[in-house]
Amino acid sequence: MKLQNKVIIVTGASRGIGKEVAVLLDENGAKVVVNYSNSETEANETVESITENGGTALAIKADVSQRHEVTHLFDKTIEVLGKVDVLVNNAGILVTKLLKDNTQDEFTKLFDVNVRGIFNTLQEAESKLADNGIIINFSSSTAKLMFPNYALYSATKSAVEQITRVFSKEIGRGISVNAIAPGATATELFLDGKSQETIDKLSAMNAFGRLAEPIDIAKIVLFLANDDSKWISGQVIGANGALV
């Protein structure tokens, strides 16, 4: 229970990897804020599953691309739970198209959520995260690959990685800042619309011949969220089974 009494915000925690992260952090003693922007029912179900297990969880709606909503996310967390020890920036969206087919609106939305969202939360964390806190941003292993259809998404994640590196040297106060870069992971969002042939091809690209499960990623977040990881900062940790 190395996270005992730590208060952790997990953005985009209503489903997928974010939900798995929130549940695992709770199982290890944390008080978890389940952030969501649209999936209220799923967020409440996540909170219910945590509280039924004896944990403490709170669902807070906030679109991370909107600064005033991120301010509310932090202020409400501090009002109810007293502090914020760890920030897990999991919220993100994925659009896969050939570069020539992306619209202006899709470009804006991808960068607003995936990059501006982290920019907003880090600006709030600058003054509102507790001393000796921990920040974990989500990148993607696509940032190191040349996957067709992933140009804009990969560009947003490359931006996240560089923001992570620089901010780790700026924030001070004993706060560590890292990013985790998952490979292909078996979530509803990722699998939607993909053929079995595509899934098999992606599975064959790593050393284990399978997609990651959300728990594989959550366990790495758990390590980064506890103080055993404190001497790691400013790093991007690939969680992809030797994909890249």
pLDDT digits (tens, 9 = 90+) for 57-110: 999 999 999 999 999 999 999 999 999 999 999 999 999 999 999 999 999 999
Q: Which of 185, 186, 200 is nearest to 239 (CA)?
A: 185
Domain annotation covers residue 26: yes
Q: Is residue 188 pLDDT above 90, yes or no?
A: no
Domain annotation covers residue 105: yes
Indicate the number of domains in the chain. Answer: 1
pLDDT > 90 in the chain, percent: 96
Domain annotation covers residue 244: no
pLDDT > 70 in the chain, percent: 100
Q: What is the pLDDT of residue 192?
A: 84
Mean pLDDT confidence for 173-187: 97
Q: What is the pLDDT of residue 189?
A: 78
Domain annotation covers residue 165: yes
Domain annotation covers residue 231: yes
Query: Please, which residues bridge with residue 137 across strands?
Result: 89, 179
Q: pTM of the predicted model, to two decimals?
A: 0.97
Q: What is the pLDDT of residue 96?
A: 93
Q: Which residue numbers are catalytic? A: 139-140, 153, 157
- CA 114 – CA 63 distance, rounded (Å): 11
Q: What is the pLDDT of residue 134?
A: 98
∠ CA 108-109-115, nearest 5°, is 85
Q: Is residue 111 pLDDT above 90, yes or no?
A: yes
- Expressed as residue numbers, the domain containing 161 is 7-239
Q: Which of 214, 196, 224 is nearest to 2 (CA)?
A: 224
Q: Is residue 191 pLDDT above 90, yes or no?
A: no
Domain annotation covers residue 2: no
Q: What is the pLDDT of residue 129?
A: 98
Mean pLDDT confidence for 166-191: 95
Question: Is 180 in contact with 139 (CB distance < 8 Å)?
Answer: yes
Q: The CATH number of the domain where 108 resides is what?
A: 3.40.50.720
Domain annotation covers residue 232: yes
Dig out the tokens for 216 from the structure: 């594989």
Residue-averaged pLDDT of the chain: 97
Domain annotation covers residue 1: no
Question: Is 37 in contact with 68 (CB distance < 8 Å)?
Answer: no
Q: What is the pLDDT of residue 193?
A: 84
Q: Is residue 220 pLDDT above 90, yes or no?
A: yes
